Amino acid sequence: MTRPAPGGSRTGAPLDIDPELAGARSLRSGALAVTLLVALIALALISAGSGQLHVPPLEVFGSIMHRLGLDIGPMPGHANGESALWNIRFPRVAMALVIGAALAAAGLLMQAIFGNPLAEPGVVGVSGGAALGASATIVFGWAFLGEWTVAVTAFVGGLAATLIVYAMSRANGRTEVITLVLTGIAVNAVTGAGLAFLTFLGDTAAREQIVFWQLGSLNGSRWQQFGIVLPLVLVGLVVAFVVAKQLDLLSLGEKSARHLGVNVEGLRILVILVVALLVGASVAFAGIIAFVGLVIPHLMRMIIGPAHLPLLVVSTLGGAVLLLGADLVARTAVPLADLPIGMLTSLVGGPFFFWLLRRTRRSSGGWG
């Protein structure tokens, strides 16, 4: 018989300790991870070959194998196929994979420390701060770091907003979740006002850049950018995997977690900083991409349950699949146009969030 742990799980079903049920969930998690990995590889091959210059998936695969020194598969038949793949397509695919995984992991971490499946990275002001930093750079024409100036100021702005939210919500050595949420709302309101003011100050070209950056895009991704984002995301993911077991204990409730030896306040600080790192690194080069961190973790939790270690694995894979698919649609839906990827993820995430809101309200018997 299944016995829920004391207090249950705040972000999903109770943490089960029945060996048979745990084994079934482990099998389901493994099957889902393999399915997502296969889908990811197939989608990456299709995405890399799609565009104005079509390259069949087998030729994409052959190009990768030949770069690895293996004489497997056909090479691209078009004269410019190899150059298009390695200079344009593959950097964009790689950025979509890494950023999708980072945003999904950040969303999972936010839901874990807030104990609420409706939480997402924007709660702590990362996206708003990043948008403010990038917009200020665009409007005032800052170029002290050359072409990297917008990315760096966006990252710094996101991290600064997160630290301000945390500092203002901390009192007597502790941080209450509800205070953190309300402080995040206030800081987001301030950054929104600052963004509106900068949009007002900017000329037509600056306004167009600001709007496009806010909608998110992977257009123009390069290997140099990938080389910067990848280490930051890897550090964040490694820390997330390390604290996954502690997040399981935290889901039992703060008091129970403390009795089991978890430094709740230290864990919360660490997770918030990791979220800022993951989201800041992502939006610095891709702009604001909404709802990936909300949709994927909750969907994965519905399938495999609340245990955070397997949930983190499938969420990172699911986030990569979602963003890669959205980027493929963004590049191919309208001929000779590149749609904002944030618009597409919002089209998926908006209805999902509404459904999730209604579902949560029904299950909890109201918000009062």
For residue 335, the model assigns a pLDDT of 84
Q: Which residues in 128-149 are b (16+ Cβ under 10 Å) and which e?
A: bbbbbbbbbbbbeeeeeeeebb
Q: Which of 323, 334, 295, 280 is nearest to 92 (CA)?
A: 323
For residue 48, the model assigns a pLDDT of 94
3-state secondary structure 6-70: CCCCCCCCCCECCHHHHHHHHHHHHHHHHHHHHHHHHHHHHHHHCCCCCCCHHHHHHHHHHHCCC
For residue 17, the model assigns a pLDDT of 52
Report yes or no on 286 lying in a domain: yes
Report yes or no on 4 lying in a domain: no
For residue 108, the model assigns a pLDDT of 95
**175 phi and psi angles, rounded to 5 deg:** -125, 120
- What does the CA dihedral 302, 308, 309, 314 come to, rounded to 10 degrees? 30
For residue 360, the model assigns a pLDDT of 66
Range of the domain at 342: 19-25+35-50+88-361
Q: Which of 366, 368, 349 is nearest to 118 (CA)?
A: 349
User: Rounded to two decimals, what is the model's pTM?
Assistant: 0.86
Distance CA 229, CA 277 (A): 10
Number of domains in the chain: 1
For residue 227, the model assigns a pLDDT of 92
Report yes or no on 222 lying in a domain: yes
Read off the CATH number of the domain in which 45 is found. 1.10.3470.10
Report yes or no on 3 lying in a domain: no
- Per-residue confidence in pLDDT tens, the chain, 368 aa: 334 444 444 454 444 456 666 677 788 888 999 999 999 999 999 999 998 889 999 999 999 999 989 888 888 888 788 999 999 999 999 999 999 999 999 999 988 988 777 777 877 788 889 889 989 999 999 989 887 898 889 888 988 998 888 888 877 767 777 887 888 889 989 999 999 999 999 999 899 888 888 888 998 899 999 999 999 999 999 999 999 999 999 988 888 999 999 998 899 889 988 998 899 889 888 988 988 998 899 889 888 988 999 999 999 999 999 999 999 999 998 888 888 898 888 888 888 777 877 776 676 554 44
Distance CA 315, CA 104 (A): 6
For residue 364, the model assigns a pLDDT of 56
Distance CA 29, CA 300 (A): 9
For residue 21, the model assigns a pLDDT of 67
For residue 89, the model assigns a pLDDT of 94
**120 phi and psi angles, rounded to 5 deg:** -150, 165
Tokens 């496009």 appear where? 212
Alpha helices in 141-222 (DSSP H): 149-169, 177-201, 204-215
Report yes or no on 368 lying in a domain: no
Report yes or no on 66 lying in a domain: no
Report yes or no on 367 lying in a domain: no
